Structure 1
Amino acid sequence: MRRLTTTTAVTVLILPLAGCAGSASGQQDPKRLTVSTFGFGVDQFENNIVEPFEKETGIEVQIESGDNAERLTKLRLKRSDPDVDVVMISDLFARQGREQGLFDKIDPSAVPNLKKIHAFAKDKDGYAPAYTYQLLGMLYRSDKVSSAPGIKDLWKAEHKGKIALPDISTSAGVPFLYSTAATFGSGPRDTDTAFKKLSGNTTNVLKYFSRSTEVVSLLERGEVEMAPALDLFAIDPVKAGKPIAWAPLDKGRYVVSNTAQLVKGAHNKAGAEKFINYLLSKEAQEKAAATFHDKPVNKDARIPADITKVVGDAATDPTADGFTIPDLKLAAKNNDDWVDRFEREVSG
């Protein structure tokens, strides 16, 4: 196993070299695989997921890491000769990459663990599935808020300067926009109403956060009392006994997924599908749940008590608890416009 560092700057610098000297990625090797993943927890990912996969298959894995936007940009730049086989990426960015022709459909016969995962995690069009998911809800200080707050509480005067909201570019950003539209407008697609409501609530907002670690720190210090956020980030504070809780929203409950996409033109397609299949296995799902608090999509995987303490029954099957998949196609189509509009009308 070898780790590669992925940055936008490095990508720009290596392109001329790739064009002049030829690409090593063009050499197909069934025993080598390059996986692009998130920038956090890479050491744990190597130890708990990659090394067991290498031992089981004999395939050597190279790892690239970085944030969603950065890695998607690199894929676009390298589309004619990709040097990555599998990309672990959040659902909205996966949809954007799919619309741009960067990802390929998988062969179900090569990924038998597809039969063992929940229906909501499968892609109806045949692309790679989600391997874990988070739930949009409300993170809040249980010692300052008497009961689980709903979306409308974010607009109440008594919380002036005491709330944080996700930036539109975060994983929680678009689902929260839809939840706001569903609460105050004609439905989740009524984003015009959502933007108007958000632009009129700036006095209540202390921070528009771009990283979930930011909002956890704000809550722990008592600077904010509530924030729409993903359940994942409540697990460690709750486990540590801090006065922080998480609850589903009263309206607009959404699942936010992380997917493992097969890169179009991948040089080791068979190895990539083996890796995706391994991510969905009971063994890998349980290790990821214990290590990263990744909720399993494999129906047979055991869910740690730390997760169920925060999420409850939704950790077993979120759809049974009223959670749905947000309209990712609409979000991908309007991404640039919404990002610009959020900056101009809301956070700016």
Structure 2
Amino acid sequence: MNLKKFMLAFAVLAMFGSPVHAREIVLATWGGTWGKAIVEKAIEPFEKKTGVKVKVISGVSLANVQMISAQRANPKVDIVMLTAGDGATAYQDDLLAPLEPKKIPVLTTLPQDGIPHDAEGHPMLAGMWLYPYGIVYRTDKLKSEIKCWKDLWREDLRNKVGVSSPKYMNGYFLLTINKLAGGTEQDVRPGMERVKALGRNLVAIIDDSAGQQRLLAQQEVWAVPMVSSAAYKMIDEGVPARFVVPCEGAPASMDVIAMVKGGPNPEDASKFIEFYLSPDVIADVTRELKITPVNRAAKITPDHAKYTLTDEELSKLIRFDDQAIVNNRASWQDTWDREIAPMTRR
């Protein structure tokens, strides 16, 4: 390039500036039905409103934790959506940054138990939604309703009860039965004995929602503990069944949104979290997923209300020590595999 052409090119750059790069944040979240709802009801409206692009990386909660851990020295992700347990572990491992209420004002409107705090009082995570772990049963096979956990031991459920082991849903089935039997997270022997007392009622151990849906649809089990979102999906597809929050109460999982420590675009990431957790947006997402928003200001339509927890049910939720679950679940599974799993081999 001769001097004249170089000076002309330089003048053009000076006049118009360097190429403008679109702002972008990276979000790691679930794929499938969950990811589709998040994209359509939250990400697309956010992009349209702000001009900030949201790149989505799809993966299950634990896989996303492993990904941001691998990127610890040079984070590529701004925001991650996780189960509350994985979120707390990731925060303790210094993978997540505290949330800042000054930049995310909606945090101040969420219920206290929807914002887990660290030892210094900083918000670690923000709750998005809750989905209870209750009981689903075939209404066409049982003459009497199932209303309580204790009903799983009824004689009319002989060879028709499926349950999940400690490796699924934070061990909620064992922990719930254990609590009702007088045990604690440090001593699950009462729960183990009570589960063993299912005897001939116990026919299957099912550690995934697809398997639970299939066995119920095929009538191989008539009752099984299950998360509400999976239960309602199956019921809406035509399986004659009902989901109940048992009379003794039920545990519920909370999924959370968090900031990756050292993420490349913290300002726009904060704006997305503020937008996402706002009452109108989180109402749209949770309505699509048939689950309960943590933000109690979210407007619940009559159709959505069929799938959400009532205030009374919220007050009866059973809570467990997340750290105790992390510390003890492997040993619970070992005992389960030796003492409970063989009961289904008949």
| TM-score class, shorter | 0.7 to 0.9
1:144 match: secondary structure: coil
- The question of 1:181 aligning with 2:197 is answered no
2:287 match: secondary structure: helix
Matched residue pairs, number? 316
**Mapped partners of 1:88, 1:225: distance in 2:** 33
1:66-85 correspondence runs (5 A):
66-85=59-78
- The question of 1:325 aligning with 2:323 is answered no
| Matched residue, 1:92 | 85
Shift of 1:63: 0.8
Match of 1:160 among 120, 136, 158: 158
Shift of 1:340: 4.0
**Mapped partners of 1:158, 1:106: distance in 2:** 51
User: Could you give the per-residue CA deviations for residues 280-299 of structure 1, whole angstroms, max 9, x where no partner exists?
Assistant: 11221121123222322222
Shift of 1:325: 3.3
- The question of 1:211 aligning with 2:176 is answered no
- The question of 1:53 aligning with 2:46 is answered yes
Match of 2:330 among 329, 332, 336: 336
**Mapped partners of 2:280, 2:333: distance in 1:** 38
User: Could you give the per-residue CA deviations for residues 216-242 of structure 1, whole angstroms, max 9, x where no partner exists?
Assistant: 222222221111112222323444564
Tell me whether 191-200 or 268-277 shows the greater mean CA deviation. Answer: 191-200
Indicate if the aligned counterparts of 2:62 and 2:86 stay in contact, CA closer than 8 A. yes
Indicate if the aligned counterparts of 1:245 and 1:310 stay in contact, CA closer than 8 A. no
**Mapped partners of 1:100, 1:294: distance in 2:** 29
Greater radius of gyration (CA):
2
Letter in 2 for 1:278: F
Indicate if the aligned counterparts of 2:37 and 2:285 stay in contact, CA closer than 8 A. no
Indicate if the aligned counterparts of 1:38 and 1:65 stay in contact, CA closer than 8 A. yes
Indicate if the aligned counterparts of 2:161 and 2:222 stay in contact, CA closer than 8 A. yes
| Matched residue, 2:30 | 38
Letter in 2 for 1:319: L
**Mapped partners of 1:170, 1:39: distance in 2:** 19
**Mapped partners of 2:24, 2:333: distance in 1:** 38
Shift of 1:131: 0.6
Structure 1 280/200 Cα, relative in aligned 2: closer, same or farther at 3 Å?
Answer: same
Shift of 1:134: 0.6
Q: Which runs of 5+ in 1 are unaligned?
A: 1-28
Letter in 1 for 2:320: P
Indicate if the aligned counterparts of 2:235 and 2:241 stay in contact, CA closer than 8 A. yes
Indicate if the aligned counterparts of 1:235 and 1:307 stay in contact, CA closer than 8 A. no
Structure 1 219/34 Cα, relative in aligned 2: closer, same or farther at 3 Å?
Answer: same
Structure 1 225/192 Cα, relative in aligned 2: closer, same or farther at 3 Å?
Answer: same
| Matched residue, 1:11 | none
**Mapped partners of 2:59, 2:199: distance in 1:** 31
**Mapped partners of 2:22, 2:174: distance in 1:** 43
Indicate if the aligned counterparts of 1:79 and 1:102 stay in contact, CA closer than 8 A. yes
Structure 1 215/113 Cα, relative in aligned 2: closer, same or farther at 3 Å?
Answer: same
Letter in 2 for 1:67: V
- The question of 1:228 aligning with 2:205 is answered no
Query: What is the TM-score of this pair, normalised by structure 2?
Result: 0.81
Indicate if the aligned counterparts of 1:167 and 1:208 stay in contact, CA closer than 8 A. yes
Indicate if the aligned counterparts of 1:179 and 1:188 stay in contact, CA closer than 8 A. no
User: Could you give the per-residue CA deviations for residues 44-79 of structure 1, whole angstroms, max 9, x where no partner exists?
Assistant: 332222111112222211111112222222222222
**Mapped partners of 2:259, 2:22: distance in 1:** 15
**Mapped partners of 1:188, 1:179: distance in 2:** 10
Structure 1 117/204 Cα, relative in aligned 2: closer, same or farther at 3 Å?
Answer: same
Q: Which runs of 5+ in 2 are unaligned?
A: 1-20
1:245 match: secondary structure: strand
Indicate if the aligned counterparts of 1:180 and 1:252 stay in contact, CA closer than 8 A. no
**Mapped partners of 2:303, 2:126: distance in 1:** 25
